[in-house]
Structure 1
């Protein structure tokens, strides 16, 4: 018997209309809570370099108790810049875990941006000193901007935001994107030409670049500094200087994944604690004034899936999205 089911498509603009920063923060927190409890599964990551110069990956997993199953196919295509497009591309699929039939296809670019920014925000809440006033951001792209937005949103004591660009010059687009948020919170925004000096003057450092090599020197990192490391997400990539992880308290999204494709691939034997373990009380962390902390943010499938499940629920309730016949 033919089953006349429909497949829901949610495009970029519809994701924008259905999802707020607070939604992303709540769903991402739930993803790490599920991970910490072992209630959510993360399957092995596929991450492969392409002959075109791009990188293609698949992150998948599920939450049996919540009927969530799916994956995100995503990667980085640097040639897209020449086409006027975003190098990062992502698509999310959710499935019915009982039948294997697809339920929903979601443009994953906005989801990836927000859930990664939200994870960075959670890292700042957990690891950075609450009285931190000086932030340094490496990178000026979409992810650097969302990391800065969450930092400004969640760290009310911030009073200065320095940014380091890849070409060493001020970036008008970055300043236009972040400037209003910074001004609204009384936070001075400035380009930093000397990256080591910017790190040495900062309480919090966020690295959100393509991650081809260390961005600053080890000696620039002062006691008490927290680092959110976002860019290293593939074998061979890194943003942090050699020796920093050994000096730091190390935290990760997922230990296996961090040792395979994150900053932790360069220090695989170091002990680390997952964010989920902290959120569920399975582990504890009491920051000391001189602690250097690093949050190695490789991103896990559960982040994408909890946000995608929320989008599916909202689109179903509101009638948003496009439905196409998908009989079986």
Structure 2
């Protein structure tokens, strides 16, 4: 049993955006092929507490190198005020042959980067008419930091960021990190509608639990990466061209897409999944007349794909703590 810390995971993944993007792409294609098993996520919630939750995402990823396992991820937004990261996670990988656990990994970096890679992959797959030079980020946390990192990997032309957050200090600090860590010119925008109209690529990653944004300020032809899933109103969803990662998974847990389905009684407003687009090959230019809304629920197979990448690389580099006696001793064969 190999145990990999946050530092071990970062050591493997830092600077490996292309490898993560390739792993996420492959996971989406395998999912579209039916070579995965992705049970519904299980949400552990607490009495009289609608904000905090811990989510279990089990998954099996088939293909040339099958892997199974689960991510167990906590989201406690109140942590931020106490100087603690909102999300914490662990990932366990199991052998698909024996079921025995192979590796326990700190999962917050894996979760954030697979989420960011998913968003960046969508932006590369559904391009606009010209190079991406600017992006708007709504929400100045870890996820949008990683989204920018991966957007730079798929859009080398990216130069500018319009930054919006309800917390002015957080927005200012985020803008500073954009310049220092990513080499991007960042401008803090204090009005949400102005921020939404600033660029034709928008990434939304907030802790909102109820829809508050109808996208009327977003220019036609814009791609909105709706990473946090619960910001856009039903009217905003229904007015957009909708692409998701999985129709069944995204239509649950009171996501904006789920609320839209409940309102109209069907899912016909979902035009495609990212897996369908990737499996079809090439790119799929988005409409210039409508907003395109990408709402990824976050499939566990993405965590498995990136965790498996980390596991094999860490093993080859001698990283982590190996506990050969973690599991019971082998039982002698009968007879």
Q: Which residue of 1 aligns with 2:98?
A: 99
Q: Could you tell me the TM-score, scaled by structure 1's length?
A: 0.88
Aligned counterpart in structure 2 of residue 240 of structure 1, from 232, 236, 240: 232
Distance 1:56 1:272, change over 3 A: farther
Q: Report the Cα distance in structure 2 between the residues aligned to 1:286 and 1:172, rounded to whole angstroms.
A: 34
Q: Distance in 2 between matches of 1:79 and 1:243?
A: 30
Q: Could you tell me how far apart the structure 2 residues matched to 1:34 and 1:217 are?
A: 34
Task: State yes or no: 1:256 paired with 2:254.
Answer: no
- Structure 2's unaligned 5+ residue stretches are 329-335
- Preserved CA contact (<8 Å) 1:253 1:300: yes
- CA shift for structure 1 position 227: 0.2
Q: Is the 8 A contact 2:137 2:144 kept in 1?
A: yes
SS in 2 for 1:280: helix
Query: What SS class does the counterpart of residue 252 from structure 2 fall into?
Result: helix
Report deviation, 1:215. 4.6
Q: Distance in 2 between matches of 1:192 and 1:241?
A: 22
In structure 1, the residue matched to 2:332 is none
What do residues 60-89 of structure 1 show as CA deviations (whole Å, max 9, x unaligned)?
Answer: 111244331101011202343355321201
Q: Which runs of 5 or more structure 1 residues have no equivalent in the other structure?
A: 1-6, 233-237
Partner residue in 2 for 1:141:
141
Q: Report the counterpart of residue 121 of structure 1 in structure 2.
A: 120
Cα distance, 1:202 vs structure 2: 2.0
Q: Which residue of 2 aligns with 1:10?
A: 4
Contact 1:195 1:216 in 2 (8 A): no
Over 3 Å counting, the alpha-carbon distance change for 1:113 and 1:79 in structure 2 is same
1:131-280 equivalent positions in 2, closer than 5 A: 131-168=131-168, 171-180=171-180, 183=183, 187-232=184-229, 238-261=230-253, 262-268=255-261, 269=266, 270-280=269-279
Partner SS for 1:227? strand
> Secondary structure of the equivalent of 1:266?
helix
Contact residue 227 and residue 293 of structure 1 kept, 8 A: yes
**SS of residue in 2 equivalent to 1:137:** strand
User: SS of 2:221's equivalent?
Assistant: coil
Structure 1 Cα separation of the partners of residues 78 and 181 of structure 2: 31
> Residues of 1 paired with 2:159 and 2:315: CA distance?
42
Aligned to 1:320: 319
